[in-house]
């Protein structure tokens, strides 16, 4: 059994076949949390989860790139592909609180910091402040509903660490799609945070040291589908059952069995999300 702790089956890419995708996900013994990136996709994640008695849960939050309305082209990146329009949304605490109280919501996010998508002419200090203030609202929400955080962070690990050191998140969180070095990972782990690993780990040997140095107890798996499809399906639309390739890579690099990796990381996820 595996746990995809960060998927986006709530996104438009799956509008025609979300039911089928979830059916094969559960059939393969994979549990999934669908993660919201703005209000509409957060609400959709909750609605999807409500259709399933077990195996499908939701995260609600406002992604930092949706704070400003603009067109994002992800083609320049190895990590993501496609172009989309961001929302330009202001975090409405009460609206998110209503969603967050739902028992199907097991984590708040994705929220955090993204300094990667700043453009020429941006007022960077102001945008950073806006991201930080919104993230602090997310921390407050997580603490108010007693749930952990699903953190998005790109090119901003130092600032994230500073915020997490001075703002206690009672149930802690996961640094999703972690692409930093093992020393940075250790700093988050020392604070009680988990490291989220996905298909990026299969693209290169650059993360082998990270995989080796981070204890299995501190790792959770994810796909971040539809993005970041692991090898050997890179280039196709990603989906939760492909989380097994991430597990295989970690088992191979650590030199342990796939069974051990699956068992421990799934246990980590169940405990982290407080799923009984």
Annotated binding-site positions: 6, 8, 110, 152, 176, 224
Q: Report how far residue 62's alpha carbon sits from residue 42's, in angstroms, rounded to the nearest whole number.
A: 8
Convert 142-171 to b/e letters by CB count within 10 Å (16 or more is b): bbebebbbbbbbbebbebbbebbeeeebeb
* Residue among 229 and 251 whose Cβ is closer to Zn ion: 229
Q: Report how far residue 17's alpha carbon sits from residue 13's, in angstroms, rounded to the nearest whole number.
A: 9
The pattern of x and - marking residues 206 through 245 that bind Zn ion according to CB under 5 A reads ------------------x---------------------
* Residue among 218 and 224 whose Cβ is closer to Zn ion: 224
Neighbours of 28 (CB within 10 A): 14
Q: For strand 83-85 and strand 2-7, is the pairing parallel, antiparallel, or unpaired?
A: unpaired
* Residue among 58 and 251 whose Cβ is closer to Zn ion: 58
In the complex, least distance from residue 276 CB atom to Zn ion, rounded to whole angstroms: 26
Structure tokens at 11: 């996104």
Residues 6+ apart with CB under 8 A from 37: 8, 61, 62, 63, 66, 110
Q: Which residue is nearest to Zn ion (CB)?
A: 224
The pattern of x and - marking residues 23 through 62 that bind Zn ion according to CB under 5 A reads ----------------------------------------
Q: Three-state SS for 72?
A: strand
Site size for Zn ion (CB under 5 A): 1
In the complex, least distance from residue 173 CB atom to Zn ion, rounded to whole angstroms: 14
Using the rule CB under 5 A, is 114 a contact of Zn ion?
Answer: no
Are the C-beta atoms of 191 and 168 separated by less than 8 Å? no
* Residue among 35 and 141 whose Cβ is closer to Zn ion: 35
Q: Which residues are annotated as a binding site for a divalent metal cation?
A: 6, 8, 110, 152, 176, 224
In the complex, least distance from residue 259 CB atom to Zn ion, rounded to whole angstroms: 28
Q: What residues form DSSP beta bridges with 31?
A: 3
In the complex, least distance from residue 21 CB atom to Zn ion, rounded to whole angstroms: 16
Name the DSSP class of 45.
H
* Residue among 4 and 224 whose Cβ is closer to Zn ion: 224
Neighbours of 206 (CB within 10 A): 11
Q: Which residues are near Zn ion by CB under 5 A?
A: 224
């Amino acid at each position: 059994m595996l746990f995809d702790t960060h998927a986006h089956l709530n996104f438009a890419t799956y509008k025609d076949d979300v039911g089928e995708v979830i059916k094969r996900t559960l059939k393969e013994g994979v549990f999934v949390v669908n993660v919201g990136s703005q209000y509409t996709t957060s609400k959709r994640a909750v609605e999807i989860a409500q259709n399933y008695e077990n195996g499908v849960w939701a995260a609600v939050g406002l992604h930092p790139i949706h704070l400003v309305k603009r067109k994002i082209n992800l083609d320049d990146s190895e990590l993501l592909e496609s172009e989309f329009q961001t929302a330009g949304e202001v975090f409405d605490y009460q609206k998110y609180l209503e969603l967050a109280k739902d028992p199907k919501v097991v984590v708040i996010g994705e929220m955090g910091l993204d300094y990667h998508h700043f453009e020429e002419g941006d007022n960077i200090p102001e945008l950073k402040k806006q991201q930080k203030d919104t993230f602090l609202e997310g921390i407050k929400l997580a603490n108010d509903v007693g749930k952990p955080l699903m953190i998005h962070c790109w090119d901003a690990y130092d600032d994230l660490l500073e915020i997490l050191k001075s703002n206690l998140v009672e149930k802690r969180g996961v640094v999703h799609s972690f692409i930093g070095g093992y020393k940075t990972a250790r700093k988050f782990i020392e604070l009680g945070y988990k490291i989220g690993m996905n298909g990026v780990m299969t693209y290169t040997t650059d993360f082998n040291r990270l995989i080796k140095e981070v204890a299995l107890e501190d790792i959770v798996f994810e796909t971040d589908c539809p993005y970041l499809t692991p090898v050997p399906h890179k280039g196709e639309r990603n989906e939760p059952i492909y989380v097994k390739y991430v597990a295989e890579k970690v088992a191979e690099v650590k030199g342990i069995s796939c069974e051990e990796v699956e068992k421990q990381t799934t246990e980590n996820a169940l405990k982290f999300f407080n799923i009984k």
